[in-house]
């Protein structure tokens, strides 16, 4: 993939216009030029957003691992595909070449087969950021099994919900994981989770921390001996373009997590195309995305997008503050990183520390800096630009979602002039619309509205696993013939987009999507709790933090409240994971509700943000008195 970099703004506009006028021609050219197809497609696109049904490259046959690995072997066999940087800087970096990756993926694929995994079966992957994680994704894809990665910071209950929802036959995990100076007992979490999952037949266990763990007879198997015995040749399963490649769960504003289903061909060409252009990737660049493969960013831009380009992609096992706050920059210097992609929350955390941690290192290899997951505030943007990029590396603020599969709005580096806090312009093939609350499109510039997408793009999720109606309802029912993103956005005088944040009950904490409903359900499990409501409030590192308003069954003595706060956070940790813990918990006499009984989060949000002088009209509430009690922090009913 060599010749489709966009070089200047005028060229961007030309490419963009073409992609909108002739989307099928545009994507067909991308697909034709750069990939290995076992059979060509019969039709580029068919779609109907009312059903909704979208098919790209129907009739085509392929295997994504042939595109990510096999086809590179001839010219890039000895090139590093995955560069593994361990948690402990004293431990050696591992360079996995394309040839070695080929062998390891094939062996792993043969192990999956020998354990009875077939095309279409679901395999849950619950692993830390070690090479086995990327390899296990690819091994599933090699044999047509559908991977469902669960971020290894989720609790046993959250893991079990996801395993059961996708009816996974197998779980792949490790004995434990390293996280800075701590270790985490991953296998213990898996044991607890899988005890609630009758569908799981096998648990494969990789060794990482060499801890003493329980191996359940007949269910658990050490991975290494199976790999050692496996052949390093495994014929790829030939897949249809629209066959599911993976499921990845994301939070909704209500109900259980949604298993977004991504398909094969469209996802492959879209992640490859966007990776190449948004990072201005050139052969022999070393690219590093600090995300975890447990999130969509890692799927698309640590594994599939980079490997489809024959790139060198870094996998980092550790955390930004271990052994000290200079770790990211030490790695940039050590591996001469050219593209660095991280989240605003990490930047804000590092910006609080002494500048020496950055200045100590040679960062001159950097050419492009990326940001993803949440809005980047002006201060963080400048800190990143000044101290990391030294004002010479453009920042690509990339807006996208688990559901979109790949980046949707982003500058093209060295072509699109950047503007702090703006994701700028839609990528080729992306047709955006801002909508008002009456369902009309808002045209012109200097406007804001709800962000929608009018036309299919190849990497869009095709459904929610096991619940197509929920998919339709969540994304295609708010606005006719549009995909609704759940975000608000404004368009400035030159047509640049700035994401203003979620307009639903999803809260983004440290770049992680958290739905209010599952957290509230967890809190309500506490025997002392009658009801609860969660809202977000601004936090200088996390972007947003969680504020819980909790009604107790009995008010009790205030000295007991501190313990209750701890217990509530403990329950949340057990049900979801530590990322969903509340920063503030206020016990209250009631929650503001509409006459139909819906909690008015808008009012709670204002109280949490200390903006109580403009609460808007509260007269239509069922219980307007409760608002003053909450503001006063009173636990007595008026």
Q: How far is the CB of 75 from ligand PRX (least distance, A)?
A: 31
Task: Between 250 and 313, name the residue whose CB sits nearer to ligand PRX.
Answer: 250
Task: Between 101 and 296, name the residue whose CB sits nearer to ligand PRX.
Answer: 296
Task: Between 86 and 305, name the residue whose CB sits nearer to ligand PRX.
Answer: 305
Residue 147, token pair as written in the block: 């991977």
d(CA 300, CA 405): 7
Q: Which stretch binds ligand PRX (CB under 6 A): 7-15, 22-30, 274-282, 483-491?
A: 483-491
Mark residues 173-212: x for contact with ligand PRX by CB under 6 A, - for none: ----------------------------------------
Provide the CB-side half-sphere exposure for 187 (13 A, CA).
21
Identify the residue among 100, 513, 516, 544 touching ligand PRX (CB under 6 A): 513
Residue 615's nearest CA partner among 598, 633, 628, 629 is 628
Identify the residue among 206, 278, 499, 546 touching ligand PRX (CB under 6 A): 499
Integer angstrom CA distances of residue 151 from 120, 194, 201, 577: 22, 15, 21, 10
| Residue 620 burial (C-beta neighbours within 10 Å; 0-12, 13-18, 19+) | exposed
Q: Which stretch binds ligand PRX (CB under 6 A): 167-175, 226-234, 433-441, 484-492?
A: 484-492
Task: Between 67 and 401, name the residue whose CB sits nearer to ligand PRX.
Answer: 401
Contact between 502 and ligand PRX (CB under 6 A)?
yes
d(CA 556, CA 402): 43
Identify the residue among 487, 504, 505, 520 touching ligand PRX (CB under 6 A): 487
Residue 626's nearest CA partner among 595, 596, 593, 602 is 593
Identify the residue among 486, 515, 548, 590 touching ligand PRX (CB under 6 A): 486
Per-residue burial over 426-436, b = 16 or more CB atoms within 10 Å of its CB, e = otherwise = bbbbbbbbbbe
Identify the residue among 381, 399, 457, 496 touching ligand PRX (CB under 6 A): 399
Q: How far is the CB of 530 from ligand PRX (least distance, A)?
A: 31
d(CA 484, CA 506): 14
Identify the residue among 236, 326, 373, 590 touching ligand PRX (CB under 6 A): 373
Mark residues 220-259: x for contact with ligand PRX by CB under 6 A, - for none: ------------------------------x---------
Total residues at the site for ligand PRX (CB under 6 A)?
22
Q: How far is the CB of 571 from ligand PRX (least distance, A)?
A: 23
Lateral strand order in the sheet of 312-316 = 94-97, 80-85, 312-316, 286-289, 339-342, 368-372, 395-398
Q: Is 218 left (phi over 0), alpha (psi -120 to 50) or beta?
A: left
Mark residues 412-451: x for contact with ligand PRX by CB under 6 A, - for none: -----------x----------------------------
**Residue sitting closest to ligand PRX (CB):** 402
How many CB atoms sit inside 10 A of residue 219's CB?
13
d(CA 311, CA 275): 10
Task: Between 148 and 250, name the residue whose CB sits nearer to ligand PRX.
Answer: 250
**Phi, psi for residue 204 in degrees, rounded to 5:** -95, 135
- The distance from CA 319 to its chain's CA centroid, rounded to whole angstroms, is 17
Task: Between 242 and 487, name the residue whose CB sits nearer to ligand PRX.
Answer: 487
Q: How far is the CB of 502 from ligand PRX (least distance, A)?
A: 5
Q: Which stretch binds ligand PRX (CB under 6 A): 3-11, 195-203, 334-342, 372-380?
A: 372-380
Residues 272-301 that bind ligand PRX (CB under 6 A): 296-297
Radius of gyration of the chain (CA): 24
Q: Which stretch binds ligand PRX (CB under 6 A): 113-121, 216-224, 392-400, 455-463?
A: 392-400
Q: Which stretch binds ligand PRX (CB under 6 A): 82-90, 333-341, 356-364, 366-374?
A: 366-374
Q: How far is the CB of 170 from ligand PRX (least distance, A)?
A: 25
d(CA 623, CA 435): 32
Mark residues 337-356: x for contact with ligand PRX by CB under 6 A, - for none: --------------------
Are 554 and 542 spatial neighbours (Cβ–Cβ below 8 Å)?
Answer: no
d(CA 154, CA 403): 20
Integer angstrom CA distances of residue 34 from 67, 227, 479: 9, 32, 35
Are 431 and 402 spatial neighbours (Cβ–Cβ below 8 Å)?
Answer: no
Residues binding ligand PRX (CB under 6 A): 250, 296-297, 371-375, 397-402, 423, 485-487, 499, 502, 508, 513
């Amino acid at each position: 993939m060599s010749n489709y970099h966009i070089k200047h703004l005028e060229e961007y506009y030309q490419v963009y216009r073409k992609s909108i006028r002739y989307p099928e021609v545009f994507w067909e050219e991308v697909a034709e030029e750069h990939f290995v197809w076992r059979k060509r497609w019969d039709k580029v696109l068919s779609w109907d957003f009312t059903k909704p049904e979208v098919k790209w490259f129907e009739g085509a046959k392929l295997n994504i691992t042939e595109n990510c690995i096999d086809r590179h072997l001839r010219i890039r066999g000895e090139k590093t595909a995955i560069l593994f940087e361990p948690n402990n800087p004293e431990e050696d970096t591992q360079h996995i070449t394309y040839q070695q990756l080929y062998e390891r993926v094939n062996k792993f694929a043969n192990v999956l087969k020998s354990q009875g995994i077939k095309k279409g079966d679901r395999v849950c992957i619950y692993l830390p950021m070690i090479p086995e994680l990327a390899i296990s994704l690819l091994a599933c894809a090699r044999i047509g099994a559908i991977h469902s990665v669960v971020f290894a910071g989720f609790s046993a209950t959250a893991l079990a919900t996801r395993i059961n929802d996708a009816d996974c036959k197998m779980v792949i995990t490790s004995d434990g994981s390293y996280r800075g100076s701590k270790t985490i007992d991953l296998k213990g979490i898996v044991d607890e989770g899988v005890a609630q999952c009758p569908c799981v037949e096998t648990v494969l266990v990789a060794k990482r921390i060499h801890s003493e763990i329980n191996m359940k007879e007949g269910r658990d198997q050490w991975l290494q001996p199976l790999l050692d015995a496996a052949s390093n040749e495994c014929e790829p399963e030939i897949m249809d373009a629209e066959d599911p490649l993976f499921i990845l769960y994301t939070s909704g504003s209500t109900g259980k997590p949604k298993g977004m289903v991504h398909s094969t061909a469209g996802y492959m060409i879209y992640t490859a195309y966007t990776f190449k252009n948004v990072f201005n990737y050139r052969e022999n660049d070393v690219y590093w995305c600090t995300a975890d493969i447990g999130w969509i960013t890692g799927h698309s831009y640590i594994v599939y997008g980079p490997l489809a380009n024959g790139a060198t992609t870094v996998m980092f096992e550790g955390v930004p503050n271990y052994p000290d706050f200079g770790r990211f920059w030490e790695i940039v210097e050590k591996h001469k990183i050219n593209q660095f992609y991280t989240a605003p929350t990490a930047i804000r955390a590092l910006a609080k520390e002494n500048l020496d941690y950055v200045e100590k290192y040679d960062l001159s290899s950097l050419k492009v800096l990326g940001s993803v997951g949440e809005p980047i505030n002006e201060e963080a943007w400048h800190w990143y630009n000044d101290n990391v990029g030294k004002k010479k590396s453009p920042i690509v603020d990339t807006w996208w979602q688990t559901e979109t599969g790949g980046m949707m709005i982003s500058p093209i580096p060295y072509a699109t002039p950047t503007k702090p806090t703006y994701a700028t312009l839609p990528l080729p093939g992306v047709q955006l619309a801002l909508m008002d609350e009456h369902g009309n499109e808002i045209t012109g510039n200097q406007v804001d509205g709800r962000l929608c997408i009018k036309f299919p793009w190849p990497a869009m999720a095709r459904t929610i696993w096991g619940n197509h109606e929920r998919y339709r309802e969540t994304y295609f029912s708010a606005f006719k013939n549009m995909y609704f993103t759940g975000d608000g956005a404004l368009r400035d005088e030159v047509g640049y987009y700035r994401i203003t944040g979620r307009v639903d009950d999803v809260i983004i904490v440290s770049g992680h999507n958290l739905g209010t409903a599952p957290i509230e359900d967890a809190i309500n499990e506490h025997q002392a709790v009658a009801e609860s409501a969660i809202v977000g409030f601004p936090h200088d590192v996390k972007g947003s933090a969680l504020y819980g308003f909790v009604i107790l069954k009995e008010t009790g003595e205030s000295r007991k409240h501190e313990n209750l706060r701890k217990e509530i956070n403990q329950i949340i940790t057990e049900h979801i994971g530590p990322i969903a813990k509340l920063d503030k918990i206020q016990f209250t006499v009631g929650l503001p509700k509409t006459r139909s009984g819906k909690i008015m989060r808008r009012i709670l949000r204002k109280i949490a943000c200390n903006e109580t002088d403009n609460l808007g009209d509260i007269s239509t509430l069922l219980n307007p008195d409760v608002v003053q009690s909450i503001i006063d922090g009173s636990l007595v009913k008026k």
